[in-house]
Chain A
Amino acid sequence: MFVFKAIPKSVYVCLLPPLMCVLVAAVLSVDSYSVDLHQVLSAASSGHLLGTDALGRDILARLAEGVVLSFSVAISVISLCAVIGISLGMVSAWLGGWVDSLLMRFVDIVLSFPGILLAIALAAVLGPGVDKLIIALSAVGWVGFARLTRAQVMSLRHAQYVEAAIASGQTAPYIAFKHLLPNIAAPLLIEASFGLAAVMIGEAGLSFLGIGIQPPAASLGTMIREGSQLMLVAPMQVFWPGLMLFLLVMAANIGGDALRDYLDVRRSS
């Protein structure tokens, strides 16, 4: 757990408001879906600490749900991307030849789209739903891991301990898990940290455009979308979800920066 030492206090400061939000909502156990048309767009009160939205739903409860959703989608996407990207990157670097050319050509093609655009297009044709959203974001995100893993494995391919492992008859999967993975973990961890930030923005962005998570589920992106339509009457509706998203993204970015400095890895593009 050496990485925890690297995380600066500012990450915890950023994470504190979203965490508080989730904890307070859990303690108060307010339903984020219960509609109350007598209390539409009400101001903060003891019953609703941050007020209510256009359908009289509790904003705090919805924020908490949004934070949890944003974080869990981000973790799922990054895990999926890491598994796919790292495996393909390793296969590509290990086998070389036409497999490598083919895979890297495909990676080039995916990288020929601005990431958010490809995710938008995929989410649009796949249709709404959290599962489809995760697929769309992962389809874009895995290439970063694949490229990075390939470059790293290529540089280790002829290291003495790898040659020794091959000579002693160990199988490729064993070498990959036992020798390669631990040695390329640092740059991958950094990629994952920045990836979290990108995916959280991506998920909220797609939801904001109306092609990600669909109402009534509370995604920070859909809340910003609903809030920005009510900006003239209730400006706080758009303020809170954006602030939570901003803090989460900033925490991930600071974390990535700190890890990079701590592990002293230079990011290769």
Chain B
Amino acid sequence: MLLRLSLFRIFESLPTILGVVTLVFFLLHLVPGDPVDALLGENAMAADKEVLRKSMHLDQPLWSQYTQYLGGIAQGDWGKSIISQRDIWGLITERLPATALLAGSSLFLALLLALPLGALAARFAGKSQDKAAMTFSLLGVSIPNFWLGPMLMLLFSVLLGWLPVSGMEASGSLVLPTITLGTALAAVLSRMARASWLDSMQTDAIRTARAMGVSERTLWWKHSARMTAIPVVTMFALQMGAVLGGAVITETVFDWPGLGLLTIEAIQGRDYPLVQGCVLLIALFYVSANLLADLLNLWLDPRQRSR
């Protein structure tokens, strides 16, 4: 039953994935004027333009460009970068480990901060502990990461000299980017944890258990915690996708050689096929994270299966 439903959900997401690939394909065709002019400049030699036009299949009708693009993606041929002339897939996979490291550590930090904060806020709802935790959360969602990053650098690298300013070679270079990226995630997650914890305490199940004499302690840490786990796990899975969006800016701030920085470098070099590749990969990862959230929800919450 669970397997069948899961397969159905996976199948259901296929049109969305196709839609994502389509949107990314048309992105290039949104470039005002001729993409070849945009890439080479209007004063380029006609012969050079023709070569590029051919190599990007821009001389063919839109429909056949589209089917070729789809076919290429499906076979793992993501095209070639215009600037380095290298395989896009190769360029991307080179940068993936750095991004995975940053994303992983940020998500870990987010969990580490958010769960205790959320629990504290819910346990002392309306009291000063709650207010403090929610103020942190408010600050976390409101601080732009392209400001938090430089401010952290200023304090810990420039003034105190404890940590390296940027790059990823030096030891401790992961710390500041992780805090920068993880804070906003922690803020969202702790709010969510607090809200769902308070919600679960309002349910009939908890009221019944309380009436039957279950101790408050058991109510909180056993019954309610389990109910809270469902939305929190779902939210966490969703954030696994969102973290890559935030990584684009954080990596730029810290010169962190990941996928996000590659995207920005591609944009600055007007290497549109590479931009397409980066955006597509991040979006596909995001869709997978959403799907994972869905499947986890299905697995954790039996009520979802009956729908």
Contact = CB atoms under 8 A, between A and B. Distances in A.
Given A105-B19, A209-B264, A235-B154, A117 B146 contact: no
Contacts of A197: 141-142
Given A235-B154, A250-B138, 9 more contacts: A112-B287, A114-B283, A197-B141, A201-B144, A205-B249, A210-B268, A211-B267, A224-B150, A227-B150
Interface in B201-254: 241-242, 244-246, 248-249, 252-253
Given A122-B27, A209-B264, A231-B158, A113 B283 contact: yes
Interface of A: 105-106, 108-110, 112-118, 120-122, 124-127, 197, 201, 204-205, 208-211, 221, 224-225, 227-228, 231-232, 235, 238-239, 241-242, 245-246, 249-250, 253-254, 257
A30 B22 CA distance: 49
Given A126-B32, A205-B146, A228-B253, A114 B282 contact: yes
Contacts of A126: 30, 32
Interface in B180-194: none
B143 A117 contact: no
A231 B153 contact: yes
Contacts of B146: 204-205, 208, 221, 224-225, 228
A200 to B, nearest CB: 9
17 contacts: A109-B19, A109-B20, A112-B17, A116-B249, A118-B279, A121-B279, A197-B141, A204-B146, A205-B249, A228-B153, A228-B253, A231-B150, A231-B153, A231-B158, A232-B158, A246-B143, A253-B141
B249 A209 contact: yes
A225 B144 CA distance: 12
A246 B184 CA distance: 13
B263 A120 contact: yes
Interface of B: 15-17, 19-20, 22-24, 27-28, 30-32, 138-139, 141-144, 146-147, 149-151, 153-154, 158, 241-242, 244-246, 248-249, 252-253, 263-264, 267-268, 272, 275, 279, 282-283, 286-287, 290
Nearest to A194: B141
B19 A228 contact: no
Contacts of B244: 114, 117
Contacts of A239: 151
Contacts of A209: 248-249, 252, 264, 267
A228 B144 contact: no
A120 B267 contact: yes
Contacts, number: 132
A228 B252 CA distance: 12
A231 B275 CA distance: 29
Contacts of A250: 138-139, 142
> Which one of A109, A208, A227, A257 has the highest number of Cβ atoms from chain B below 10 Å of its Cβ?
A109
A6 B283 CA distance: 38
Contacts of A208: 146, 249, 252
Nearest to B143: A246
B282 A117 contact: yes
